[in-house]
Amino acid sequence: MTKPIPCPALLIAAPASGQGKTTVVSALARLHTRQGRKVRVFKCGPDFLDPHWHQLASGAPVYQLDLWINGEAECRARLAAAAQEADLILVEGVMGLFDGKPSAADLAQRLNLPVMVVIDAGSMAGTFGALAWGLQNYQSGLPWAGVLANRVASSSHAAMLQASVREPAQWLGALMRNPAMVLAERHLGLTVASEVRDALARLDAAADALAETPLGQMTVQDLQRWQVNFAPIPVTVPQPKSLKGKTIAVARDAAFCFIYAANLDCLRDLGAELVFFSPLNDARLPPCDAVWLPGGYPELHAAQLAANTTLRDSLAAHVAQHKPVWAECGGMMVLFESLLTLDGEVLAQWGLLPGAVCMQKRLAALGPQQLALPEGLLRGHTFHYSTCTTTLEVDRRTARPDCEPVAHAGEALYRLGSIQASYFHAWFPSSPAATAALFGFAGEVKP
């Protein structure tokens, strides 16, 4: 039997969202990458946005880890594969440490990942230590690494926070308030790193600040205190090449950027050749057998998308030839006839589906979802700030985990000709056979 694969690893969590987890994870990854170490970063949960910052910081692809969406076996395999090549593994938690089912704490405990907690200490002193102690001891047997204070006002404030921590060795330092290292946000979360002009400078500023803390001054030898022995990668049975010989065109630009690296890997593993295009800038589709319009921010680019009539016509011609289109969330939004902005402006869209999209000030839906297809059960999630009205009949609906889909529950899946569209974001590796069905090739299985 292959020996366990050792590698230092940290799961970086917080008591709530907005505490600065992404900044700290990215800063730590950037700091060690600058020093010539290979860092692999993962994100707990189905988040699309934070991984853009992690990838910029580490220079390596970032994958999601979720005990329900991925399954424990896939989480273990991805970590083991990373441990084979990395000097340090970082996993960013989701929401608060114990929020969600399963939570970041559940992932840490199941996979024996030491937890470091980032706490926004801007408005506290002695309570900092109480909060850190409570997080450490709330769930019995949780592997623990320590605590880092964020948004600290001064050196004297930092000293008070440090004094409140019961075990001095668990104090990993303080990051002062610094506008230069703040990561920009918008309505769905962090702004994608590629759209922030000084993104790398912000990460460097955060890395420089972290370098002054006990955490940032740790050597490779110091990091061994958090070494995890990852189980060997199991031997898996290769998937049938059900997409062999097929070319799938994937929309990818500032308007369509919600793409899991694992989904691209899954399509390639199924034998597909992937080509990428920009609905914002390209005049026509590349030659292809199927199209994937992923989620993103079409509402921020609605006028430019509507003006690209040659791309719209190219997609319409693709559909007229009965070639498949899978459109999820933002990819579906642009296919409707119009979009109503928060300012009350009605913008024409591509009109390949009858109906209209209306932007909302608050979340319209959030949470894990699963889509049952004849070929298999796809897991994923939903997260959107818009609603749609359409005369299309609902082909089927998603459901929450362990629930049966019923009328008006879960997200609708619409079909019109060769188009399949839904607000549902699918995790393709959860069912490669169902993934092939999304692109219309379920019955074309090749050896």
Q: Please list the active-site residues.
A: 329
Choose among 378, 369, 353: nearest CA to 437. 378
Q: At what angle do helices 199-210 and 21-34 cross, to 10 degrees?
A: 80
Q: Parallel, antiparallel, or unpaired for β 365-373 and 376-384?
A: antiparallel
- Whether 64 and 92 have beta carbons less than 8 Å apart is answered as no
The single-letter DSSP state of residue 295 is B
Q: Residue 81 and residue 86: Cα distance in Å, rounded? A: 9
Strands 376-384, 356-359: pairing is unpaired
Residue 273, number of CB atoms within 10 A of its CB = 15
Do residues 32 and 45 touch, judged by C-beta distance below 8 A?
no
Residue 414 CB-half CA count within 13 A:
23
Q: Are 46 and 381 in contact (CB under 8 A)?
A: yes
- Which residues partner with 215 through β-bridges? none
- Residues 337 and 354 sit within 8 Å (Cβ to Cβ): yes
Contact call for residues 359 and 340 (beta carbons, < 8 A): yes
User: 383 forms bridges with which residues in the sheet?
Assistant: 366
